[in-house]
Each structure stands twice: as C-alpha cells, then as structure tokens.
C-alpha cells in the first residue's frame, strides 16, 4: 500500500492542509458521484498525456455512519472481482490515505461502488474508482481539499492496482479535459485547451489486456531517433491543441514507442487503424494499455463514422466491440446527487 507524502504533487513545496475538514460544513449525509473513463497516453504522450470522455464511468455513493471507521459495504458490476477490504481496493486506498492525512481516520463513513465500465479495458477503470472515492469523501467532509490537492491520494489509489505511480488517467478523470503531466514524481499536472470541435471515437473490443502485461512488453531502452520523433510529436500535438490546428494535431498523433509493441495484443489493430483513417480520423492509437482504441476527429459526424468503421473491423474477427463517441469531457468527476 502506498503512503501519501503531503508535499508530493505540489511543485511549489506548499503543504496540503492537514485537519482541514470544516466541521461546520459537514452537514451532508450522503453523496453520489460519477467518475468518467479516460484515454491515457493519447498516442505520443506515454504516461504524460490523457483526456476524459463523457461515458462510460463509475458511480460511487458515500454516506455518514454512526459506526466509527471507513467501510466498503457494497460493490456491484464487478462479477465478484473487487475486494470489500479497503486496504485492497483502489477507492479504499485513496480514501484511507485521505482520511489519515486529515486526521479523521475514526470518522464513520460507508461506501458503495457501482462499476459501470469494463475491467482491463484501457479506459482507466481503477483510476475512475480511486478518483470517485476520494472526491466523494472530500465532498462529504465539506471539501477541505481542492481537486488538485486530491491528486496524490488518487494516484496512490490507482498505484495500488498496477504498481506504477502515474497520473495520465487520474489527472483528466479528476481535473477534466486534457491533461499534461510534466512530472509524475511531482504530480505537476496541467490542463491543455480543448479545440471547439474536437471529438473522440473510442471502441472497446471485448477482450482483456492487463496493464502489468502491457507494461512488461515495453522496451527498456529507446533509440535516440525514436525519442526525438516522439518528443516532436508530443510538442506538435500540444501546439495543435492550443492553436485549434487540426492538421497539426493529425500529423502529431503517432506513437513511436508503445504502439509498435502493444498492437500485437489487439487483434486486427492495424486493419482497424486503416479503417479509422479512411473514415476521416485525425489519428488513431491505443487507449492506455489497451485493448480499447481511440481516434481523435474533427466533428461529431466524422467521429460516428470512425467508430462504426472500427467496430465493424472487430466484428469481422469476430469480436464484440462497444463504441463510445464523445466530446472531450471538461468536467471530469462530479457530484450527481447529495442529501
């Protein structure tokens, strides 16, 4: 289990407030939040770039309890895969670290987790739960911390699942939109502008790719020429997003590091990529560790056509695939009800 350093993730060196819960604001009895799926890496931004989409996502309910301590009382949609023990659950780890930091480890809180997105999908399932858990409890406690101050706690939660400290899923899930992580070690995370007509076509083939497996097949050393190409593409993509330059975005959406190795985990990947590009995608690659794939597109109509074309490729294998067409989600995790 990861233990959060309150100075980690704060590049200015300012401490995250301790004992920050305002007891006068703790009038809520129950909070329900929605935490969206995310696309990490975004082709050329391995471990440093990600964006949130509108759906799918997870829902988490937290409520006050007269019984001291934090408990997970119910999990649905997981086929019995996820543990109720908080120390073994991504949402639970994030919440325990948060409560410990605030000095509220004995406060009575119950949580329900409703998984509404597939496991091992490359859509940030574990990140969505970690973010939802910490965000919901923070809201229940009167928001003692800002969203940005929650970053180290939610990263610790996801790290409990895959053993890696990175924010390319939790960053956009928590902060919304497109995020650039200048440093994962420092959690120096920044939002990038979203062009007005930028849409995502995401397709999830019904197979499982574990993040740990996808990381194991990555090369440990990268040639200088490859590193230069990748950094040029990342710079070009960020510049294109700032300038609303769709042509530059398209020229930059190429992954020279992860995709050549991970594509073999996804049946008919390059055929799906050709179909996406023929349908008008700006660029196409693997979402996170896969097996989900994504394309960025100019306009909803193109995104719908790309999603249809890619889904048909997987269906021909045959592999059942679920398409999601979405604007970039600017909100990220948010409250859907409270009482």
Cis peptide before 318 (omega within 30 of 0): yes
Catalytic residues: 158, 211
Three-class secondary structure of residue 229 per DSSP: helix
**DSSP bridge partners of 114:** 59, 76
Helices (H), 9-167: 90-102, 125-140, 151-162
Q: Is the Cβ–Cβ distance between 41 and 168 less than 8 Å? A: yes
**Who contacts 146 (Cβ-Cβ below 8 Å, separation ≥6)?**
none
Q: How far apart (Å, rounded) are the C-alpha atoms in residues 1 and 26?
A: 28
- The position carrying tokens 């993509």 is 237
Is the previous residue joined to 291 through a cis bond, with omega within 30 degrees of 0? yes
How far is Cα 136 from Cα 147, in angstroms, rounded to an integer?
Answer: 11
Dig out the tokens for 169 from the structure: 């899923």
Residue 330 burial (CB count, 10 A): 15
């Amino acid at each position: 289990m990861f233990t959060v350093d309150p100075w980690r993730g704060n590049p200015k060196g300012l401490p995250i407030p301790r004992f920050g819960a305002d007891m006068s604001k703790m009038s809520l009895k129950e909070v329900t939040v929605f935490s969206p799926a995310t696309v990490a890496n975004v082709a050329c931004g391995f471990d440093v770039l990600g964006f949130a989409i509108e759906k799918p996502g997870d829902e988490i309910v937290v409520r006050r309890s007269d019984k001291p301590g934090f408990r997970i009382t119910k999990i649905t949609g997981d086929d019995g895969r996820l543990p109720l023990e908080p120390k073994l659950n991504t949402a639970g780890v994030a919440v325990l670290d948060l409560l410990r930091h605030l000095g509220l480890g004995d406060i009575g809180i119950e949580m329900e987790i409703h998984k509404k997105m597939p496991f091992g999908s490359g859509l940030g399932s574990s990140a969505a739960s970690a973010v939802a858990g910490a965000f919901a409890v923070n809201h229940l406690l009167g928001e003692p911390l800002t969203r940005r101050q929650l970053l180290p706690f939610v990263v610790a939660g996801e790290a409990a699942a895959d053993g890696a400290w990175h924010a390319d899923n939790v960053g956009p899930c928590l902060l919304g939109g497109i995020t650039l992580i200048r440093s994962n070690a420092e959690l120096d995370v920044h939002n990038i502008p979203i062009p007005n007509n930028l849409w995502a076509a995401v397709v999830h083939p019904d197979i499982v790719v574990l993040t740990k497996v996808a990381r194991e097949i990555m090369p440990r050393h990268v040639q200088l020429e490859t590193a230069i190409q990748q950094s040029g593409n990342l710079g070009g993509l960020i510049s294109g997003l700032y300038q609303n330059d769709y042509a530059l975005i398209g020229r930059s959406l190429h992954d020279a590091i992860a995709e050549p190795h991970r594509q073999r985990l996804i049946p008919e990947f390059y055929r799906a990529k050709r179909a996406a590009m023929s349908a008008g995608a700006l660029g196409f690659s693997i979402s996170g560790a896969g097996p989900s794939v994504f394309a960025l597109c100019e306009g909803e109509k193109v995104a719908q056509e790309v999603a249809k074309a890619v889904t048909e490729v997987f269906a021909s294998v045959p592999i059942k695939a679920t398409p999601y067409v979405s604007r970039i989600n600017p909100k990220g995790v948010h409250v859907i009800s409270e009482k």
